[in-house]
Structure 1
Amino acid sequence: MSFAKAQDLLRLALMASTRHFGVSLEDIRAEFSVSHRTAQRMTDALELTFANVTKQTGSDRRSYWKVDDPTIAQLQPHQETAVEALEIASRRAKEEGRLRHAQALEDTRNGLMLRLSARDAKRAETDAEAVLEALGQVTRPGPRVPLNQKIADAVTEGLRGPFRLEIIYSGRSDQARTIEPYGLLLGPRSYLIAKQPDRGAELLNFRMDRIQSAKCLDEWFIPENGFSIENYAAQAFGAYHDPDQLKEVVWRFKPEAAERASEFRFHPKQTLQYQADGSLIVRFTAAGWLEMSWFLYEWGDAVEVIDPPELRDFVQGYQRADFPSLP
């Protein structure tokens, strides 16, 4: 057996011992990027190498392999990459104002370091720092509004319940509002997605930086059945939601911009279609024409709006031909 295969087998054994239900063939395929047949061979090797492997069928009718003796978990592979990942994630969380998540990531990182020997901990820390020094942070233009930690904590508590929140929101009135939180959209400006029962059943976007105070109430509510924050976010190109603008969007990138445009993920449910002349058609369904127009301006005259007509008219005449490079 090659060293690489031996390392993979050790990783598989650690996975099978630390996961409550064990690992399935689908887990192995995803973790090791292998075919179904290779995953089967890996479970065969696991059963052949370790005597304390059990196989059981889960409620999803999949087979799961479990290493029953947890002492295998004491075999610690090098943790440099895990330390790097946790530190990068912690720094990113701090930059985005998610202090609760940053603290949890730091605690996990510190717990990992405590389980290592002094020599391995020093090596992991040194190697991780070297990698972190070589990583730069691409700064996105525009404001990034930090989250108020007390408000973020109250919102998080409400989402976990789910419990209603009482908030003071700056705007036309500073009167307290009772809302039902559904989720958070994090970005340069973060939004709390919620319903305000006295205003109807419509989902509303509350800017987190405009919430002056928030208190979690001891009032449980039943969320709308089938709501998905992922699907809700996909209804907008950015943060702006408008049912009247929710239409199919079609952009055509010129042949000289097609390859560059194909590298972008404009929308989580986009489709790309190359044309006979080398141009690229991008399709998705979303609202937010103003945010789209801001983004499209960066492409100059390399992109054409096909649909909807309202967006096409909105950007017409603002395309430039003298931009020296593509985004």
Structure 2
Amino acid sequence: MRHDKATRLLDLARMLAGSSEGLTLDEMARAMGVGRRTAERMRDAVWAAFPQMEAIEDPPTKRFRIPSGLDSLFQTPTAEELAALRTAADSYAAGGAEGRAAALYALERKLLSALRGAARRKVAPDVEALVQAETIAVHPGPRPFESEQVLSAIRTAVKGLQALSFRYEGGSAPGRTRKVTPLGILFGHSNYLVATEGRDPRPRTFRLDRMQAVAALDEPAPPPADFSLQAFADESFGIYHGQIEDVVLRIGPSRAEDALRWRFHPNQVVTQDPDGSVTVAFRASGMLELSWHLFTWGDAVEIVSPPGLREMMVEELKTALKAHEG
């Protein structure tokens, strides 16, 4: 128990050392999964162990941080952490995300090079053993396009609040040069830039593999203050955005356990029905992508609403049947 308590205090110290703005007591409580009174006692214990911790006035509350960071003695990564980093990098590489894979491999090299000789010799065999015992199941599907040059240009524009220019080989006017305000990147089976163009305030998506001659411009282009990339992504079942619909699906008893473990949408509401079936409700756009996904559930799923999704599903089934029944 004492060891567990010390570990949790060290985790909190790392959070306080890793935050430039500091954490409030309420934020500490949420991060550690404890009540406010317990968070106060943990803060005091960390402060006693690390007297360099400071309090910053942020009315109506205070923030706390350890501005000088922690000594490397407290920062040695475990074999499990290094193996998880390698597995994540290998997963990116196997899925074609070469840019993000390269970044994680570089981070792994930096972490290992920062370890003292004895610590590195101790952890290296365990890391290799875990990596050999864990592998990545590569699922079929499109390999995402990740050009380091394209990603670097987009990130430069995002960090500098600058406009972005590129020639787009998609859309209604292929080959036209676009000038946009970049809002972020959505990574998935295909990778997309989210941006606004011209005076239209609605965010749009641009496939990265169709963007050429990408460059950050010396022109200010700050994003809307109220824009959230996560909220934008949560509006749609997949990537494509359209009219937001109220979706209700009923999954039969034969697949009820699968449905209870499945996430159709971040904001879904799941209820178990008396007959053993499961009802899933959420609001989203991207009905075509949703209908494609529902193919995988076979006859176990019933589309309760919206009617347009049910009709779209029927048309997609007719098209597939026509192509294969002969």
Per the normalisation by structure 2, the TM-score is 0.82
Which residue in 1 is equivalent to 2:236?
236
1:181 to partner: Cα distance: 1.6
Measured at CA, do residues 8 and 301 of structure 1 come closer, stay the same or move farther in structure 2, by a change above 3 Å? same
Aligned partners of 1:168 and 1:70: how far apart in 2? 44
Which residue in 2 is equivalent to 1:150?
149
- Native 8 Å contact 1:52 1:69 kept in 2: no
Which residue in 1 is equivalent to 2:175?
174
Please list every run of 5 or more consecutive structure 2 residues that lacks an aligned counterpart in the other structure: 319-326
Aligned partners of 2:185 and 2:270: how far apart in 1? 29
**What do you get for the CA RMSD once the two structures are aligned?**
3.1
- For 1:206, what is the secondary structure of its paired residue? strand
1:109 aligns with 2:108: yes
What is the 5 A alignment of 1:5-24?
A: 5-16=5-16, 19-20=19-20, 24=24
Aligned partners of 1:137 and 1:219: how far apart in 2? 43
1:263 to partner: Cα distance: 0.6
My pick for the range that moved more, 107-116 or 304-313, is: 107-116
Aligned partners of 2:125 and 2:19: how far apart in 1? 29
Question: Size of the alignment, in residue pairs?
Answer: 315
- Native 8 Å contact 1:86 1:109 kept in 2: yes
Which residue in 1 is equivalent to 2:271?
273
What is the 5 A alignment of 1:218-257?
A: 218-243=218-243, 246-257=244-255
Which residue in 2 is equivalent to 1:190?
191
- For 1:176, what is the secondary structure of its paired residue? strand
**Amino acid aligned to 1:183:** G
**Amino acid aligned to 1:163:** Q
**Amino acid aligned to 1:298:** T
1:218 to partner: Cα distance: 1.1
Aligned partners of 1:4 and 1:312: how far apart in 2? 52
Note the alpha carbon deviations across 1:234-278, whole angstroms, 9 max, x for none. Answer: 2211111123xx211110111232221011111111111222222
Moved over 6 A (4+): 67-71
- Native 8 Å contact 1:154 1:215 kept in 2: yes
My pick for the range that moved more, 309-318 or 186-195, is: 309-318
**Amino acid aligned to 1:242:** G
- For 2:163, what is the secondary structure of its paired residue? strand
**Amino acid aligned to 2:137:** V
Work out the percentage of aligned pairs sharing the same amino acid: 31
- Structure 2 residue corresponding to 1:300, chosen from 298, 301, 323: 298
My pick for the range that moved more, 128-137 or 89-98, is: 89-98
What is the 5 A alignment of 1:1-327?
A: 2-16=2-16, 19-20=19-20, 24-26=24-26, 28-46=28-46, 50=49, 52=51, 56=55, 58-59=57-58, 61-62=60-61, 74-75=73-74, 79-95=78-94, 98-171=97-170, 172-197=173-198, 200-243=200-243, 246-316=244-314, 318=317
- Native 8 Å contact 2:166 2:211 kept in 1: yes
Aligned partners of 2:273 and 2:181: how far apart in 1? 46
Per the normalisation by structure 1, the TM-score is 0.82
**Amino acid aligned to 1:147:** E
- Native 8 Å contact 2:93 2:101 kept in 1: yes
Aligned partners of 2:4 and 2:292: how far apart in 1? 48
